[in-house]
Structure 1
Amino acid sequence: MSKPLEILKQYWKHTAFREPQEAIIQSVLAGNDTFTLMPTGGGKSICFQVPGMMMEGICLVISPLIALMKDQVQNLQSKGIKAIALTGGIHQDDIIDLLDNCQYGNYKFLYLSPERLQSDWILERLKNLPINLIAIDEAHCVSQWGHDFRPAYLKIAQLKEYFPKVPFLALTASATPRVKEDIVTQLQLNNPQTFSKSFYRENIAYMVFETEDKLHLLQQILQKNPQPSIVYVGNRKSCSDIAKQLESLGFTATFYHGGLSAKDKEKQMQLWMTEKAQVIVATNAFGMGIDKANVKTVVHLHLPQNLENYYQEAGRAGRNGEKAFAVLLQNPSDMIHAEAQFINVLPDKAFLNTVFSKLCNYFQIAYGEGIDEQFGFNLHQYCTKYNFPTLKTYNALQFLDRQGIITLSQEFSEKISLQFIIPSKEVIRYMSLHPNDEVILLTILRTYPGVYEMQTALNISLVAKKSNRTETEVLSLLENLKEKNIIEMIAKNNDATITFNEVREDERTINRVSKYLEAQNKLKTEQLKAVLAYCEDQKTCKSKLLMAYFGEDQKKDCGICSYCIHQNKKTVAPETVAEKIVDLLKLQDFNSRDIQKLTKLPKDDVIFALQKLLEEETISIKPNNLYSLK
C-alpha cells in the first residue's frame, strides 16, 4: 500500500501535510470513527481524499453543498481520479446509471447530498457498493444546535447498520461544544478519535469600529492596506453600489453575488484573483473554495447573521501567515437593520404552509404528485404574483431546501427554447455552406427531433458537451441563427431552479417539519445576540471572545485586536486634546473628521474634548457642522 505522503505528492503535488491532517488520515486507515473540527482553509477534503485513494473500494462523501461537490468532483477528475456526484435534480434513470458506474466502473469517490439517503432504493443500492470510508462533510448540519441543521443528516446513522466495519469521518469547520457533542451522538460514532485544530489565528487582528460614516472609514482602511481585500455586505444591491462608490474613490473594485450568471461570477472573481481589482465586494455567496493566500483585509460593512459565518469569512484573510485584518464596522442603527434582515423575516408555520402550497400551484403540481420535477424559478416574479415579502419568502424556501422537501439551486440560469422556422432541406443547405456550425446543429437535431414541429427546451450544457464545444459557442451560434430567421428562440432568465423531492401533501408536509422551524428560529435569535455581544463588549480581547464562543480557552490577550490596541494606547490628557483643538480652530473652522485627521488623536478622545468645549462654550458648532472658536 502507498503511504499517505506519496499519495499527497503524486496527486496533490504537496510535499507535506498540514497539522493535523496526517494524524486524521492514520486514524481513518486504522478503521476508527473520527471527528474533525478544522477551521475553514485547513484542508478538510485531503483528510478523506488521501485515505480514499489508499484503500480498495469507494469513499462515500455526504455533503449538502452542491457547488462544492461539483467543484471537488471536477478537481478529482482533473487529477485522473474517477469521481461522481449525485446531486439534486438528477432523474432516477440517470441515478441508476451513475450507481451502476460506481459498482462496475472502478470509481474512487461517490459524492451524495444527504437528501438522497431519504430514498430507500438508493440506500439498497449503496449496500451493494464496496464502500471503504464514509465522510460526512459540514457535519454540524446533523445537530439541531448547528447553524444549518438538516433533518436528512439524521438518516446517515442508518449507514452504520449496513457498513458496521467502515469508519465514519465527521468533518466541520465550525462547531460549538454543544454541537460537537450532538454530532457524535446523532451519527452514532463509536469511541471516535477527536481532532480539533485551534480556531486561534495569531496573525489576524479582529477589529470592531463604531462609525457613522462607514464608507469613509473603509476608504481609510483600504488606502492603508492596498493589498487584496474582501468587503462583505448584507445584500446584492449593496454589492454593486459599494463597488461603484469605491471605484469613484479611486480603488479598483468588482463585486460578486448569487444572482450573477456563472460566466459573470467567473469573470468578476478572476479580476480579483489576478489582482486587476484590489477589492471584491460580496455577499456571503462568495468564498467557498476560494483560497487566495495574500488577502490582507476582510471588512464586514453589515452585521453577520452569526459568529460561525463571521469566523469563516474573516478567516479568508492572512492565509499566507502574514498579519491581516478582519474588520467589522458598525453603527447604532445596525441592530435595527440586523433584526429586520435576520429575525423579523423568519417564517412561522402558517406562512411556510402558504408559501409551499402556492409554490405547488405556481408550477401546477397536483396533490400527490410532483416528485423529481424541476422548474426554472424567478423569486421576484413569484413574490409579486402572490404579494409575498421577498426576504421572508426566500427564508421559507431555504428552510424547505434544508428539510429536503425541495432543492433550491441558486444558480442563475437562462432557459432557452427554440424551433426551426425553415424546412429541413434548407437547414442541410445552411450546414453545407457553414461547416463550422455543422457539429452543433447536428447535435441539436439528433438530441431534439421535435425541434421542427414545436418550441423545444434546450439543455445548453448538454449540447455543448455532446458537440465538444463551449456553451458560449453554442449560444453564439443560436443568436446568429435567430438573426438570420432560421430559428425562433425564447430565452427566459431565472435566478434559481427548484426541484421537488417529495409528492405534494401541503399541510401534512409542513406539519412534519414545523418543530424544526421553531427550534431554528430560536437558534437564529440567539446567534444574532451573540454577534451583538461580540460587537458591544469593550472589556475583552476580541480574539478571546471568538475563541470562547467556539469552546476554546485563550489564556492571553492577542495584543493586536481593536480592544488590545485601545488598551495599549497611551492615553492623552483631555486638557491636552482640548488645547490642540483650540490651537487648530484659531487657524480656521473645521469639522470633527478634519480635526481628528490633523491632530492625529484618537477619535473618541477628540469627540469627548469637543463635547467638553461645547459645554464650556469655548467653541460653537455651525449649521454646516463646522466647529468654530467663540
Structure 2
Amino acid sequence: MSEALEILKKYWKHDSFRPLQNDIIDSVLSGKDTFALLPTGGGKSICFQVPALLSKGICLVVSPLVALMKDQVANLQSRNIKAIALTGGIHSEELINLLDNCQYGNYKFLYLSPERLQSDWILERIKTLDINLIAIDEAHCVSQWGHDFRPAYLKISDLKDHFPTVPFLALTASATSRVKEDIISELGLENPVLFQQSFARKNIAYMVFEAEDKLFKIQQILKKNPQPSIIYVRNRKSCLEISSQLQSLGFKATYYHGGLKSKEKDKNMALWMEEKAQVIVATNAFGMGIDKANVKTVIHIQLPENMENYYQEAGRAGRNEEKAFAVLLTSPSDAINAENQFIKNLPDKAYLNLIYRKLNTYFQIAYGEGIDEKFSFNLNHFCVKYNFPVLRTFNAIQFLDQQGILTLAQESSQKISLQFIISSKEVLRYLSLNPNDEEIILAIVRTYPGVYEIETAFNCSLIAKKSQRTEKQVYAVLEKLHEKQVIDFHSKNNDAAITFNEIREDERTISRVAKYLEKQNTLKKEQLASVLHYIKEESTCKSKLILSYFGEKESENCGICSYCITLKPKGKDLKVLQQQIMLLLKGEPLNSREIQNKINTSPDALIFALQELLANETISIQPNNTYTLKL
C-alpha cells in the first residue's frame, strides 16, 4: 500500500482516492509545480493535505474564503491534525502568538488570505517557516477574467523568490481556457504538470423548463423524485417563503442562508443531512464543504449570476453517480429581473468612493486608522441611515471585499447594551423581592462594575455561563428588568461582520482598485449573457452548452437533458427501433456508426435506444466500442 493511501485511510477513513487525486499528490511529492482543475465534488483539499502530512514541515494554504478556512481548520483539528488560520480581525499580538505556534509547535497547516501576504512583517515571519508546499485554493481569483478576481492574488507569485524549491499547487473548480492560462502565468508556475477532470457529469440531466407557476412545477418535481433535494434562491426572504409554502403543501422542508445564527444553521443542516427534511431551500451561502452523495435534484428558481456558480451548485446533485437532475425554472420576466439585479445595480467609481467613506464614518474610523478592526454590521440599517439602495450598496461592499480592502463575513449576531437606571440599593431591594433573578443580576454586576454609570456592551453567553442559566433565561430577565424600568436596554440584530484590512485612505484606497471595477463590470455583463444563452438556446444539448462554456468539445448529445428528451422516439417507435438493433446484433457485433448506416433513424434516437438496451442489460459494449447481444 502506498504511503499516501495509508494517510488517507488513517485520517479520512477512505479506502481509495477519487479520480486524479493520487496523480496530483504524486506530482506534488516529486516537487513539481502542479495545476489541478477539479470540478465541484472532486476533493481538492485532499490533494494538498495528504502530501503535506507526508512531508517534513508546514503547508501554506492561501484561500480567499474565511468560512472555508475555518471549516477546513476545524475539520483537520477534529482529525487531530494541527492547523491554524490567520483570518481578519486578529490583532498583532495574537498573530505573533499564532505564527510562533507555527514555527515551534509542530503545526502542519497554516491557512491565510492573500491579503495577509501583503503585510511585510507577516511575510518575513513566513519566510522563517519550514514550508513544504504552497497550495493556492480558488486559484481562478488570480485572473481578471475569473468570476472572483482578487488583486492580492497577483502578489502570490512573489513567494517563488523566497521558496524557489517549494512546489506550488494551484487548485480551482471552475476555469475557462482563458482563466486557466492566466492562472499559470500570474502565479509564475514553472513547467506545471496539468491535471484536468472533465466538466462532463454524465449522470446529471440538465433541465431548463419555462414555468409560469414555478411552485407548482417544484411540487411536481419533488413528488416524482422524493429523495434529498436542494432549491437555490437568490435572497433570504425567498428562503423563508418557499420553505413555508412547501411545508404547507405537505413537504418536509427547511432553509439555510448566511444570516442565520450558527445554531440554527447547524440544526437546519442536520435536518436535511439526516433526511428528516426532504428539501433545503438555500441561498448560495449553502454548499461549501457539503458532501451529501445522494442529492437527487437541484432546482434553481431564479437565474444564476454566471455559469461558474450554476455549474458548482448544480453539481451538488448525483455525487453517488446515480442519475440526478439539475433543473433551472424560468419565466419570461427572469431575463429582465436578472438584468436589473446583476447589471443595473453595478457600482461605478464615484459610488464605490461614497460607500467606502460612509462605512468609515458609520464605524467612526479616523483617517489613517482602522486596520484589523472588526465590527458587527447590519446592511439594511446602514442603507436606511444614509438612504442608499440596498442591492447596489451590497455590490459595492462585495467589490471592496474582493479587492481585500475589507472582509465581509455573513454571520448573525445580536448586539446588546444596558445600563442600570436605579441605584445599587434599589437593585438589592429588587433582588429581595425577585430571588429567582438573583444569580443573573449578580453575574451582571460583578462582570460589569461600571454598568451603573454608563451604557455597557453586554455578552449574553458569558453571563449565562457565569450564572449557570441559558441565554434564553438571561434575555428574559433583561426584558423583565427593562419593563420594570430597572435597566435601560438596547438590542440590535446584525447579519454580517466587517473587518477592515487596511488603514483608511479614502480616495487613494479607491483609486488603487478602481481600474479593476470597469473590467469586472464588463465581465459580469458577459457572464449574464452566457446564462441567457444557456436558457434560450433550444437547438443544442444542455450538457454540450455547459462543456462548451468551459472549453470542452463534445460530439455526442447527453441523451438525458431537456433538449435531448425532445428527440427521443416515443413508445412504439422506440420498441421498433430496439428490435431492429437486436436483429442486427444477432448477426455480428457493430459500433454505433455501423448500426446508423444500416437503420434509417436520427443519431439521437439511436443513442437513446442503445442507452435503454444497455440499461436493461439486453446488450453490452465491448472495449473496441462495438455492441453485442447478451445471451
Give TM class, smaller chain: 0.7 to 0.9
Deviation per CA, 1:118-173: give whole Å up to 9, x if none.
21111111111111111110000010010000011111111111111111111000
> Which residue in the other structure is 2:63 paired with?
63
Kept in 2, the 8 Å contact 1:445–1:451? The answer is no
1:417/1:96 Cα in 2 relative to 1: closer, same or farther (>3 Å)?
farther
Q: CA deviation at 1:419?
A: 5.6
Q: CA deviation at 1:442?
A: 7.5
1:23-422 correspondence runs (5 A): 23-418=23-418
> Which residue in the other structure is 1:499 paired with?
499
1:110 partner SS = strand
Kept in 1, the 8 Å contact 2:114–2:156? The answer is yes
Deviation per CA, 1:325-360: give whole Å up to 9, x if none.
001111211110010111111001111111111111
Q: CA deviation at 1:211?
A: 2.1
2:563 partner SS = helix
Q: CA deviation at 1:456?
A: 3.5
Distance 2:189 2:461 in 1: 41
Kept in 2, the 8 Å contact 1:422–1:487? The answer is no
1:341 partner SS = helix
Distance 2:57 2:19 in 1: 27
Letter in 1 for 2:60: L
> Which residue in the other structure is 1:11 paired with?
11
1:569/1:333 Cα in 2 relative to 1: closer, same or farther (>3 Å)?
farther
Distance 1:30 1:469 in 2: 57
Kept in 1, the 8 Å contact 2:478–2:489? The answer is no
1:384 partner SS = helix
Kept in 2, the 8 Å contact 1:437–1:477? The answer is no
Deviation per CA, 1:520-548: give whole Å up to 9, x if none.
00000000000111111111111111011
Q: CA deviation at 1:415?
A: 2.0
Distance 1:451 1:499 in 2: 28
Q: CA deviation at 1:364?
A: 2.0
1:589-604 correspondence runs (5 A): none
1:391/1:545 Cα in 2 relative to 1: closer, same or farther (>3 Å)?
same
1:546/1:80 Cα in 2 relative to 1: closer, same or farther (>3 Å)?
same
1:61/1:326 Cα in 2 relative to 1: closer, same or farther (>3 Å)?
same
> Which residue in the other structure is 1:598 paired with?
none
Distance 1:426 1:15 in 2: 65
Which shows bigger deviation, 134-143 or 251-260?
Answer: 251-260
Structure 2 gaps, min length 5: 574-631
2:360 partner SS = helix
Distance 2:51 2:186 in 1: 24
Distance 1:309 1:87 in 2: 24
1:484/1:383 Cα in 2 relative to 1: closer, same or farther (>3 Å)?
closer
1:329 partner SS = strand
Q: CA deviation at 1:489?
A: 5.2
1:450/1:183 Cα in 2 relative to 1: closer, same or farther (>3 Å)?
farther
Kept in 2, the 8 Å contact 1:2–1:54? The answer is no
Structure 1 gaps, min length 5: 574-630
Kept in 1, the 8 Å contact 2:230–2:279? The answer is yes
Distance 2:72 2:445 in 1: 30
Kept in 1, the 8 Å contact 2:439–2:467? The answer is no
1:6 partner SS = helix
Q: CA deviation at 1:423?
A: 5.7
1:457/1:55 Cα in 2 relative to 1: closer, same or farther (>3 Å)?
farther
Deviation per CA, 1:550-602: give whole Å up to 9, x if none.
111122111111111111144999xxxxxxxxxxxxxxxxxxxxxxxxxxxxx
Letter in 1 for 2:161: E
1:220/1:112 Cα in 2 relative to 1: closer, same or farther (>3 Å)?
same
> Which residue in the other structure is 2:607 paired with?
none
Letter in 1 for 2:516: Y
TM-score, normalising length: structure 2: 0.84
Letter in 1 for 2:25: I
TM-score, normalising length: structure 1: 0.84
> Which residue in the other structure is 1:609 paired with?
none
Distance 2:409 2:316 in 1: 25
Q: CA deviation at 1:458?
A: 4.6
- Is residue 526 of structure 2 the alignment partner of residue 526 of structure 1? yes
Q: CA deviation at 1:17?
A: 0.7
Distance 2:54 2:533 in 1: 46
Q: CA deviation at 1:361?
A: 1.5
Distance 1:449 1:32 in 2: 60
Q: CA deviation at 1:202?
A: 0.9
Letter in 1 for 2:258: G
Distance 1:314 1:130 in 2: 40
1:544/1:491 Cα in 2 relative to 1: closer, same or farther (>3 Å)?
same
Distance 1:540 1:165 in 2: 48
Q: CA deviation at 1:457?
A: 2.8
1:87/1:329 Cα in 2 relative to 1: closer, same or farther (>3 Å)?
same
1:91/1:5 Cα in 2 relative to 1: closer, same or farther (>3 Å)?
same
Letter in 2 for 1:40: T
